[in-house]
Amino acid sequence: MKEETKLIQNILSDPLTGAISTPIYQTSTYVQEAPGVHKGFDYTRTNNPTRKILEDLITHLEYGYASLAFSSGLASVDAILKLLESGSEIVAVDDIYGGTFRLLNLYKKLGINTKFVDTTDAKKTISTISNKTKLVWLESPTNPTLKVSDIEYISKESKKKNSDILVVVDNTFASPVIQNPLKLGSDIVVHSATKYLAGHSDVLAGLITVKNTDLYEKLKYIQNATGGVLSPIDSWLTIRGSQTLYLRIKKQSQNAFQIASFLNKKRNSEIDQVFYPGLSNHKNHFIAVKQQRYFGGIVSFSLKKNTIESAKKVVTSTKIFKLAESLGGTKSLICHPATMTHKSTPTEVRINAGIQNSLIRLSIGIENVEDLIKDIDQALKSLSSQ
């Protein structure tokens, strides 16, 4: 079976009633025949049938051994960090998701330090690994400049340096339709399912998929001990949203490619740089071609008039693109990282990470691409009336 078919086939109908839509098991506990004698479910923090269907679904999509669903992407990230002991070190991608950066800061207090490195430089990444390094944390593509790192090379070489290093990939921006990090040699893949997997901007969810029993047992213990599980209703919403994942990613990637090409042509007028891994002038285009099936639905660009004010003018002039944080939904969104998602990043750090004052990020939805291009075009015209 092809991937699209497998995705749908793996959402089983209810064995009790035949219901084709997954039932929402909105229950905290389960009746037992005798103490400890039950149907595999005893308490919803530990196990829930609706959540289990979602976990099995992502296990198939990511070619893993097993998965765990959490109440948010960051709850998943937190569970992974809890695998580490005080004194261990993390090597992480330098333009890491802001929430993960904040969380890593908290872990400093517990004696777990992070070295940040530009992981698009694979050799430099490997040479940053020390004998204290226990975890390599990758995101590819990154937010918002869409840097792409060579997951296969970094996974292989990290393990050569030290076989018990865990390589984790935050696959949120790509989704399992675009790349499967476990197949490329990583140990754990994590998703903010809030974004592409659930796909409709209506739920917060996090998913972890691991490659073996040992990691599953350890993370299951952490999840049960800390309790940040995904609720039955949110599990259902994520299953429901995931069913159209292939359709959405294909359409969003096609739309994004056309929009990136349109913006690229505007580089002789309003636009300075365009960031999209599908463009041949993108810094990591060749790794993206090697590693990804599609180039994804996020496009960023900067303006010739490189000021906060110019960017604000553009992001408040679109009509179809709604001004909002987050990404990966059916509706197109526009965002100004410098004053929104990266507001708390010190200016110098932000500029060094390539997030200029005028940088604008688009999360492309499933609307008609001509309408989207017209909308951006008229918003860019607002600059000349400045």
Catalytic residues: 45, 97, 170, 195
107 is an interface residue for ligand PLP by CB under 6 A:
no
Tokens standing for residue 117 = 């490195």
Q: How far is the CB of 194 from ligand PLP (least distance, A)?
A: 4
99 is an interface residue for ligand PLP by CB under 6 A:
yes
Q: How far is the CB of 143 from ligand PLP (least distance, A)?
A: 6
Q: Which is nearer to ligand PLP, 22 or 72 (CB)?
A: 72
Q: Which is nearer to ligand PLP, 313 or 342 (CB)?
A: 342
Q: Which is nearer to ligand PLP, 79 or 259 (CB)?
A: 79
Tokens standing for residue 100 = 């993960």
Quick check: 219 and 79 in contact, CB under 8 A?
A: yes
94 is an interface residue for ligand PLP by CB under 6 A:
no
Q: Which is nearer to ligand PLP, 172 or 175 (CB)?
A: 172
Q: How far is the CB of 262 from ligand PLP (least distance, A)?
A: 25
98 is an interface residue for ligand PLP by CB under 6 A:
no
Separation of alpha carbons 301 and 309, rounded Å: 15
194 is an interface residue for ligand PLP by CB under 6 A:
yes
139 is an interface residue for ligand PLP by CB under 6 A:
yes
Nearest CA to 160 out of 179, 178, 180, 185 is that of 185
Sheet holding 333-335, edge to edge: 271-275, 298-303, 360-363, 333-335, 322-323
Q: How far is the CB of 233 from ligand PLP (least distance, A)?
A: 16
Which amino acid is located at 52 in the chain? Answer: K
Q: Which is nearer to ligand PLP, 238 or 264 (CB)?
A: 238
361 is an interface residue for ligand PLP by CB under 6 A:
no
Tokens standing for residue 314 = 């553009």
Residues numbered 74-93 forming contacts with ligand PLP, rule: CB under 6 A: 74
Q: Considering only the stretches 32-40, 50-58, 178-186, 188-196, report the one whose residues sit in contact with ligand PLP under the rule CB under 6 A.
A: 188-196
Q: How far is the CB of 248 from ligand PLP (least distance, A)?
A: 16
Binding mask 320-349 for ligand PLP (x = CB under 6 A): ------------------------------
170 is an interface residue for ligand PLP by CB under 6 A:
yes
Residue nearest to ligand PLP (CB): 73
Nearest CA to 264 out of 248, 246, 250, 285 is that of 285
Q: Which is nearer to ligand PLP, 349 or 373 (CB)?
A: 349
Separation of alpha carbons 52 and 235, rounded Å: 9
Pairing of strands 298-303, 333-335: unpaired
Quick check: 234 and 205 in contact, CB under 8 A?
A: yes
Looking at 69, 79, 82, 97, which residue binds ligand PLP (CB under 6 A)?
97
Apex CA 193: angle with CA 144 and CA 81, to 5°?
80
> HEC profile for 269-318?
CCEEEEECCCCCCCCCHHHHHHHCCCCCCEEEEEECCCCHHHHHHHHCCC
228 is an interface residue for ligand PLP by CB under 6 A:
no
204 is an interface residue for ligand PLP by CB under 6 A:
yes
206 is an interface residue for ligand PLP by CB under 6 A:
yes
Looking at 195, 220, 248, 350, which residue binds ligand PLP (CB under 6 A)?
195
Q: How far is the CB of 208 from ligand PLP (least distance, A)?
A: 12
Q: Considering only the stretches 46-54, 68-76, 109-117, 316-324, report the one whose residues sit in contact with ligand PLP under the rule CB under 6 A.
A: 68-76
Residues near ligand PLP (CB under 6 A) are 72-74, 97, 99-100, 139, 143, 170, 172-173, 192, 194-195, 204, 206
